[in-house]
C-alpha cells in the first residue's frame, strides 16, 4: 500500500472543476512533486487529501486512512506533517509560542534539531518576520513531530537560494530516513533537484505521471545565443529546435534534440555568448502534452484559479 493513493478523486465547485478523476499513488519514502501552473488545482488536491475538503466523488487514502472516514483520517494525520501555502500564523504570537502550540497538539521530538538547522528567530513576534523566516518556521512545525508523511504546498516560496539549497538537502536526508514527501510546485529546477517522480496537473486533471529524468528529456533546454552579426530564427532550423525568436540582439529557442548536432551547428557560427537553462514549466505542458497542456480560455483559467489555488 502506498503512502498516498488516489482513486478517481474529484472535487467540483458547482460547474467549475477543482480536480477531476485523479488516480495515482505515492510510495513510502518517495519524494513526489505535484506540478502545475497556478490555478491548476494543486491546492484543492492537497486540501482534499487532508480532509479539509470533501471529495465530490472518488476517494483517496492517506497512510491507509480513507479521506471520507473522518475518524480514521484524524488518527492518520497524527503521522502527517503539513506546510500550507498560506501559513496563517497569529502575527501577535512569537515563533516560540507558535511551536509550543503545535507541539502540544502533535509533539515536538525534533524541534531543537530543526531549529538549529533552519534558525527562525523564535523569540520575535510573527509580524516582524520576513517571508523567508516565516517559511522556515513553517518547515520546523511541519517536521518537528517526526511524521511519516509530509505534505507541502509550494514549500520554498519566499526562501532565498541558500535557504532553498539547505531545504533541498534536508528533503534528501528525510527521504533516506524513510519519510514520504509530497509537495506542489511550479518550479521545474526545484523538482529536478529533489524529486523521484512527478505528477503534472492541468485544469484539475492528471496530464502525466513521470519519473524526473523522463520529464526532463521531454522538456528540453532553453537556449539563448548571441553571435557576430545577425542571426535569423531560420538559421537554427535543427531537428528538436522550436519556438525560435529574436530577443534584442540574441536568438532564443527551446531545444530537445541531440546535443552533438546543436554543438556542431554552433561551432559554425561566431558565437559571442550562449546560455542554456531549464525551460519554463508551462513550456513542458504546451510542447509535450499537446492539447492537455493548453487552457480552455483565459476566463476559465481565472475562474479555476479563484477556487482551486486560493
Residue ranges of domains in the chain: 4-216, 221-278
50-59, 218-227, 230-239, 283-292: which has the highest mean pLDDT?
Answer: 50-59
pLDDT value of residue 134: 96
The one-character DSSP state at 209 is E
CA–CA dist 118, 136 (Å, integer): 6
**Cβ–Cβ < 8 Å for 56, 8:** no
Q: Is 33 in a helix, a strand, or coil?
A: strand
Q: Is 285 in a helix, a strand, or coil?
A: helix
CA–CA dist 18, 26 (Å, integer): 21
- Residue 91 CB contacts under 8 Å (≥ 6 apart), including other chains: 125, 126, 127
- The alpha carbon of residue 96 and the mean position of all alpha carbons in its chain are separated, in whole angstroms, by 28
* CATH homologous superfamily for the domain 4-216: P-loop containing nucleotide triphosphate hydrolases (3.40.50.300)
- Residue 298 CB contacts under 8 Å (≥ 6 apart), including other chains: none
Whole-model pTM: value is 0.78
CATH 3.30.2010 fits 221-278, yes or no: no
pLDDT of 307 > 80? The answer is no
pLDDT of 57 > 90? The answer is yes
Amino acid at each position: 500500500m502506498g503512502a498516498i493513493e488516489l482513486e478517481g478523486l474529484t472535487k467540483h465547485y458547482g460547474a467549475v472543476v477543482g480536480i477531476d478523476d485523479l488516480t495515482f499513488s505515492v510510495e513510502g519514502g518517495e519524494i513526489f512533486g505535484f506540478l502545475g501552473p497556478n490555478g491548476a488545482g494543486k491546492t484543492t488536491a492537497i486540501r482534499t487529501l487532508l480532509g479539509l475538503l470533501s471529495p465530490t466523488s472518488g476517494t483517496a487514502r492517506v497512510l491507509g486512512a480513507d479521506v471520507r472516514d473522518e475518524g480514521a483520517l484524524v488518527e492518520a494525520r497524527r503521522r502527517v506533517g503539513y506546510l500550507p501555502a498560506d501559513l496563517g500564523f497569529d502575527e501577535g504570537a512569537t515563533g516560540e509560542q507558535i511551536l509550543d502550540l503545535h507541539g502540544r497538539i502533535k509533539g515536538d521530538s525534533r524541534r531543537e534539531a530543526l531549529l538549529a538547522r533552519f534558525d527562525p528567530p523564535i523569540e520575535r513576534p510573527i509580524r516582524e518576520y520576513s517571508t523567508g523566516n516565516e517559511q522556515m518556521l513553517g518547515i520546523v512545525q511541519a517536521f518537528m513531530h517526526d511524521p511519516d508523511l509530509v505534505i507541502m504546498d509550494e514549500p520554498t516560496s519566499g526562501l532565498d537560494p541558500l535557504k532553498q539549497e539547505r531545504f533541498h538537502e534536508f528533503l534528501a536526508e528525510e527521504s533516506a530516513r524513510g519519510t514520504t514527501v509530497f509537495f506542489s510546485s511550479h518550479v521545474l529546477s526545484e523538482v529536478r533537484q529533489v524529486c523521484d517522480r512527478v505528477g503534472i496537473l492541468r485544469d484539475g486533471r492528471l496530464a502525466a505521471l513521470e519519473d524526473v529524468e523522463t520529464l526532463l528529456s521531454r522538456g528540453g533546454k532553453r537556449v539563448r545565443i548571441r553571435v557576430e552579426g545577425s542571426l535569423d530564427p531560420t538559421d537554427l532550423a535543427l531537428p528538436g529546435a522550436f519556438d525560435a525568436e529574436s530577443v534584442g540582439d540574441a536568438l532564443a529557442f527551446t531545444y530537445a534534440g541531440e546535443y552533438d548536432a546543436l554543438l556542431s551547428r554552433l561551432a559554425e557560427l561566431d558565437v559571442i555568448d550562449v546560455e542554456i537553462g531549464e525551460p519554463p514549466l508551462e513550456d513542458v505542458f504546451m510542447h509535450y502534452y499537446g492539447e492537455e497542456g493548453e487552457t480552455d480560455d483565459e476566463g476559465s483559467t481565472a475562474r479555476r484559479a479563484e477556487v482551486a489555488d486560493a
